[in-house]
Every structure is written in structure tokens, then in C-alpha cells.
Amino acid sequence: MKKPPHTRLLPFAALMLASVAAHATPVPTLSGDRPLVIAHRGASGYLPEESVQAYQLAMKMGADYIEGDVYLTADGKAVMLHDGTLNATTNVVAYAATHPEIAALRSANGAYDVTKFTLAQLQQLSVTCRNANGYCTDKSYFDPSLSYSFTSYDAFLDLVYDNYLDTGIAIGVFPEAKQSGLAVAEAILAGLNNPKYNGYFNTAGRALTQSFNAAQVDYLNANSAIPVSYLGVCPTTAAAAASVAAIADGIGPSTGQLSAACVNAAHGAGLTVMPYTYLNNPASYATGYNLGVDGVFTNFPDIAANVRDQIFGPAEVPEPQSLALMGLGLAGIAGLTRRKRG
């Protein structure tokens, strides 16, 4: 029988965080709202990253946004994978052993490049746990008898939108252009602007975009009103922050880059700050929240939410009839950070 969801921090951690909350006044976020919980590749600390099940678990754990990485396949379909190769996070090696048509796609170095696969071929595979700290670290929700499902970008968006239709709870998406080139950025925007979503993703702050590549950031910025974050940068001066603000609405530094100077400079330029990637150490979240970060990329969205509640108090529960209109306050990020366009 599966263990119940984690609803409490470890006793020592809870006492420590209570002390932090009592004796420290967190720096406000840019919007003044509670910081966002962004599920990094879904609830990837518990289930195989970028799988349907990891995304579903993240939504159940109260994530405000679901993050995922986008590549294009050989037939031009957008898919959700972090790596450019399939070896570390799918069963491709074992599957290829009995499927020669898949084995034929192997590169000379033994890698299976996602761009050589069609969407139909990828959908034959299962998603597996990465052998790295912070990924499937906690097996409370993992069921080895299940085949964890790979997903396309369209299916990723459908999953979040259908959850909204079913529950009235508005969760956002935060796709990253992981592959180089502008075609993947175009595909991200095309999905978010698909009329079948009735404006859910391209209005009211229910989507953010991101990239490590300045050209992609600039493209996303110039071709959409959806806020975009420039990853891997953390300016510490007003001039440096202003330079980033010329093409982006926010920054996504690593936790190692994060500093009070960076948060202050970014906020001064109107940039949100959402660092990556937080794991299962509650104290690290407290440090980030107290610096004034606007959100955290986390593999453990339940821990991120628990620590946030320790510091800021639980969120007010809206009346049921208001849920569909509120978007859980996500519109504030978009409205505050979107610059005027010429």
C-alpha cells in the first residue's frame, strides 16, 4: 500500500522554520504576493520526470505552475523531455533490444537522439527515473509495476487545461525552449495560443516561458505578451538588470547564483526572480523565500508549499464560485511584469 502524501515537515525542520518565520521578515516579492511553487519537470522528486504521472502528482500537491522542457521530433512535433537524448530517462535501450527499427536510430556513441524519433516512436517508450540526486529520491508515490507515460507538448497543455475544467483550479504552465533554434520557441507559442484553450494560457497569467538562450528569450519576448524568463543569469547591478529587462520579464538563476544583491537589482528593474532547482532540504526554501524570490523551481512541490505556509501562512481559501475567476492570483505576475511593446 502506498504511503500517504507528505503533509508535515520533519519535526526538526518544522521547528527550525517556525523560528525563521517568527524572527525574520521576508523581503516582499515583486508583486507583493506569496511566491509561486513551480513543479520542476512535474513532481520529479517522487516520479519519473516529465511523465504524465509526475505532472498529475504536482497538480495534486498544490503547484502553481507545472514546468517542462520542449524538443521537436523528426516529424516536427513538440514533446516534453529534458535531455536531447533518451538514454537517461526512458527505457529506450531495453526497448531497442527487441525492436530493430528503434535500434537503427542509435548514434555511433550509443545515444538515442530525440530529434531522430517521430512522435509515434517516442510514444512506444516508457519514462524512467534519472539516476541523479533529487530525482525519484523519495519512492513514496512510485509504483514499479506501472509504465510511466511519455507526453507530447499538446498533451501536457491538455492535462493542465482539463484539470482546470474538471476542478475550477487554475494552474499555470512554464515551458522551456530546451532545443536550440527558434522553431521550438515558435512551437511553444503556437501551443499556448491554440484557440481550443479559449485563451486559458495566453491570458490571465496562466503561462510563462523561459530559455537559457538569449536569442530565444528575445524571440519569445518580441512575439508574445506572455512573460518570459532568461535562465542562468543573476545581475547584481542596476545596469546589468536593465540590460536583461530589455528582452525579458524575469530571471531564473541557479540557487548557487542567487543572492540578495541579485534579487534587489532584478526587482529594481521590474524582473521577477525564480531560482532553480530546490530539492528536499526545507531550509533552502526558507532562505530563498526570505530573500524575496518570486517563485521556486522544485522537484518536491509539497515541501515548497509546506515551507511557504510556514513563513507566509496558509493561502486564503476562496469561495467555490470564485475559483474559476481567480486563476489563484497568477494573473498578478503577468500584469505586473509585462512591459509595454512598441
Contact 239, 261 (CB under 8 A): no
At residue 24, the pLDDT reads 66
- Dihedral (Cα; 92, 96, 98, 102), 10-degree rounding: 120
At residue 318, the pLDDT reads 53
What is the total residue count of the chain?
Answer: 342
Q: Is the peptide bond before 237 cis (omega within 30 degrees of 0)?
A: no
At residue 86, the pLDDT reads 98
By DSSP bridging, strand 126-127 and strand 148-149 are: antiparallel
Q: Which residue has the cell 530493430?
A: 100
Report how far Cα 218 is from the mean position of its chain's Cα atoms: 20
Ordered by where they begin, the domains of the chain are 11-68+170-337 (3.20.20.190)
At residue 238, the pLDDT reads 98
Alpha-carbon distance 342 to 332, whole Å? 22
97, three cell numbers: 533490444
Give, in order, the Cα–Cα distances in Å from 36 to each of 85, 93, 304: 30, 37, 9
At residue 137, the pLDDT reads 96
Alpha-carbon distance 16 to 151, whole Å? 39
Q: Which residues contact 106 (CB under 8 A, 6 or more apart)?
A: 96, 112
Spans of the chain below 50 pLDDT: 1-16, 18-23, 319-332, 334-342
By DSSP bridging, strand 65-72 and strand 78-80 are: antiparallel
